Amino acid sequence: MAMADTLLRPFRQAQHWLAARPRLRMWLRVLRLSLFQFGMGLSLAPLTGTLNRVLINELGIAAFLVGSLLALHYFISPARAIVGFKSDVHRAAGRWRTPYLVLGAMLTYGGLATAPFSLILLSGEGYLPFPLAVIVCFAIFFAYGLGVNIAETIYLAIVSDVTPVEERGRVLSLLWVALVLGTIVGSLLIGELLIDYSHTRLIQVMQGSALAFVFLTFLSMLDQERLKPNGELVDFTPVRVRETLGESLRMLAAQRPLRNLFIVLALATTGFAVHDVLLEPYGGQVLGMSVAETTRLTAVWGGGMLTAIVLTGWLLWRGHPALRMLGGASILGVAGFATISLANTPDHVGQFLGGIALIGMGRGMLIVGGLALVMGLCDRSHAGLFLALWGITQALSQGVGTIAAGLARDIIGRMSGVVASGYIAVYLSALLLIAVAGLLLLVLSLRGQLRAEQVRSPWSSLEQVNADQIIF
């Protein structure tokens, strides 16, 4: 017993020391919460930065099919409103949200762990005929998409439950950064692991990333919600039950300036989304980059995005208008897609990387500027509602952009007989969409439809925003 007391004494002293510093204890809890987002980013890296390239480039699968598989989770995003509403009802009754999160994490893990077997199913090396293999792949990616939507919705709701209102903006901004950092670290690490590439190696790496996601989720969420012996929550505080999806859409329809802004932002998001599936295959087919090299492209893009998110947040805090940020996003997007369109030989890899960084910066500036402008235009009592709808709109736009880009690449590439032509046509179309969105924003501004109050922090009410789908 004396030895046990001696061993436990430093831990008791640390507990007493932390008990006297509640703010530090809260931020240590937040850092543990951020492990979930970091793990989510880590698991996304091989899915959106490696598997797409291998399926399109090495196996010759149509980009339309690959884009449809990877974009499936975007079209499941409206389910977030239903899941969030149900969990709010449970929480308001004093019950916990964690079972929803466990279900979402299990589905996400199952999808991540089985997704790499699409290499075998679609390559013809398996026992299933191709049409049946496609159906199985869609089932795998549907399970993954449903899991991600459930897990992220409940995770952000729990974050909202356990963090003080006055600190929530800073907490959510840290969690967004953790998500991007997870993707950057994941792409760099996986790039190193795939230097000696083989299909078996990729399957092992992707299953390892799925295990890492589950482990980090467990560490992040352990004991965040605690139950009394009678099944009620410890430290229970009532929550406001969010509106249903139908009620939210009716409120949006009545807000003309917001409705117009949503349309323009959806157009810009569709333009930015066309690179999601095609950058890595373009690097492999046109620029002769290896699988490891194209996997690291996600780190370049993520670095640009992270830089823009921090810079835009600082500019907003300094009092610069959100509309100016959106103008900057349009300029960066046009410059980025113009740069990669001109990088069409192996000698232009450096130029290609520069264009990717510009696209990442433009996307980051569009996200933060769009958040701030939506918040400035809407009634603050309904900020969370409209931001949730904005998140769903962005997700659906990304899904449309991803699938349309794959289809256009397949059709134009086949008609022209030149591999690069399909990619370049898509990139130029993206450039045009972003430019048109920028011009429409200018027109709306000149007509006085985007007069918003100044928003110095774009991070308020983000617990209802689907950060994983907006960023990726």
Distance between CA atoms of residues 53 and 50, nearest Å: 5
The string of DSSP codes covering 89-158 is: HHHHTT--SHHHHHHHHHHHHHHHHHGGGHHHHHHT-SSS-HHHHHHHHHHHHHHHHHHHHHHHHHHHHH
For the chain (472 residues), the mean pLDDT of every run of 10, in chain order, is 54 59 74 91 88 91 93 86 71 68 91 89 81 93 92 81 70 83 92 90 92 92 63 53 58 67 88 89 93 92 91 82 88 96 92 95 89 68 63 86 94 90 94 93 75 50 53 54
What CA–CA distances, in Å, run from 101 to 82, 87, 96, 221, 237? 14, 10, 10, 9, 19
Quick check: is 232 in a domain?
no
Q: Which residues contact 110 (CB under 8 A, 6 or more apart)?
A: 143, 144, 147
Token pair listed for 75: 């079209």
| CA of residue 171 relative to chain centroid, distance | 17
The pLDDT score that the predictor gives to residue 281 is: 94
AA identity, residue 449: Q
Roughly what angle, to the nearest 10 degrees, separates helices 168-193 and 130-162?
140
Residues 6+ apart with CB under 8 A from 263: none
Nearest Cα to 94, choosing from 241, 234, 201? 234
Query: Total domain count for the chain?
Result: 1
| Alpha helix stretches (DSSP H) within 230-321 | 245-253, 256-273, 279-285, 291-295, 297-317
The whole-angstrom separation of Cα 303 and Cα 184 is 7
The one-letter code for the residue type at 270 is: T
Q: Environment class of residue 110 by beta-carbon count within 10 Å: exposed (0-12), middle (13-18) or buried (19+)?
A: middle
- Percent of the chain that is helix, strand, coil (3-state, to 5): 80, 0, 20
Within 8 A by CB and 6+ apart from 20, the residues are none
CA distances from 451 to 113, 261, 375, 441 (A): 47, 11, 12, 12
Backbone dihedral region for residue 237 (phi beyond 0: left; psi -120 to 50: alpha; all else: beta): beta
Q: How far apart are CA 107 and CA 228, in angstroms?
A: 28
Quick check: 370 and 267 in contact, CB under 8 A?
no
Is residue 7 in some structural domain? no
17: which residues sit within 8 A by CB, 6+ positions away? none
Q: Is 351 helix (H, G, I), strand (E, B) or coil?
A: helix
Give the pair of three-digit tokens for residue 271.
Answer: 């333009």
3-state secondary structure of 335: helix
Its pTM stands at 0.85
Instruction: Indicate which CATH number applies to the domain containing 123.
Output: 1.20.1250.20
Q: Residue 404: inside a domain, yes or no?
A: yes
Question: What is the DSSP code (8-state) at residue 382?
Answer: G
The pair of three-digit structure tokens given for residue 29, joined into one six-digit string: 């809890």
- Other Cβ atoms less than 10 A from the Cβ of 346: the count is 12
In a domain, 20, yes or no: no
What is the extent of the structural domain holding 464? Answer: 30-224+243-471
DSSP 243: P
Question: How many residues make up the chain in this entry?
Answer: 472
Based on its alpha-carbon atoms, the radius of gyration of the chain, rounded to whole angstroms, reads 23
For residue 12, being part of any structural domain is answered with no
Instruction: Quote the pLDDT of residue 174.
Output: 82
* 166: in domain: yes
Of 411, 432, 429, nearest in space to 64 by CA: 411
DSSP H helical ranges for 194-237: 199-221
- Please indicate, yes or no, if residue 165 is contained in any of the structural domains: yes
Phi, psi of 232 (to 5 degrees): -85, 160
User: Does a structural domain hold residue 238?
Assistant: no
* Phi and psi angles of residue 342, each rounded to the nearest 5 degrees, phi first: -85, -10
Q: Please list the alpha-helical segments (H only) found in 222-255.
A: 245-253
Q: What is the DSSP letter of 233?
A: B
CB 428 within 8 A of CB 350: no
* Residue type at 358 in one-letter notation: L
